[in-house]
């Protein structure tokens, strides 16, 4: 495992009709959806860790604490800057900030846990046995 506090990444996406609040059902307006922003945040954290974990290991998202503070219309671009701020055994915490051309769109933290993929899936698949 090769992860360090301070590791960072920026992931971007264009606001299109498919990732608006109106389409996601999280609101009635054609602006960047909060659930789309949450997905971008998780994707950024996953991308940051993609080549840093030991074989057979992965991460699962466990917590998001975000504020969506500004609307971005269709045609705008949003950037998610994700920085690893804490490592506590298998728990990882990230500071995230989402911006567009005019400034801050969202800010918060995201938590993920490192798990062994095979045993995690075995447990999940037998959850209702």
The predicted-structure confidence for 40-57, as pLDDT tens digits, reads as follows 999 999 999 999 999 999
**pLDDT beyond 90 at 38:** yes
CA distances in angstroms from 104 to 5, 70, 86, 101, listed in the order given? 23, 7, 23, 9
What per-residue confidence (pLDDT) applies to 82? Answer: 99
Does the active-site annotation cover 34?
A: yes
Q: Are 15 and 37 in contact (CB under 8 A)?
A: no
For each of the domains in the chain, give its residue range(s) and CATH number, in order of start. Answer: 8-125 (3.10.129.10)
The verdict on whether 13 is a catalytic residue reads: no
Please give the average per-residue pLDDT across 97-106, as a whole number. Answer: 99
Annotated binding site: 61, 112
Q: Which of 68, 99, 110, 111 is the catalytic position?
A: 68
What's the predicted TM-score (pTM) here?
0.95
């Amino acid at each position: 495992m090769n992860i360090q506090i301070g590791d960072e990444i920026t992931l971007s996406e264009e606001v299109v009709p498919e990732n608006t609040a109106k389409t996601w059902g999280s609101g009635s307006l054609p602006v960047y959806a909060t659930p789309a922003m949450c997905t971008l945040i998780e994707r950024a954290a996953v991308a940051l860790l993609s080549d840093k974990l030991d074989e057979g290991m992965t991460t699962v998202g466990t917590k998001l604490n975000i504020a969506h503070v500004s609307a971005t219309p269709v045609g705008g671009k949003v950037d998610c800057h994700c920085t690893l701020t804490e490592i506590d055994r298998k728990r990882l915490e990230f500071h995230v900030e989402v911006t567009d051309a005019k400034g801050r769109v969202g800010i918060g933290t995201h938590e993920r846990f490192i798990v062994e993929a095979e045993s995690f899936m075995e447990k999940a698949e037998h959850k209702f046995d």
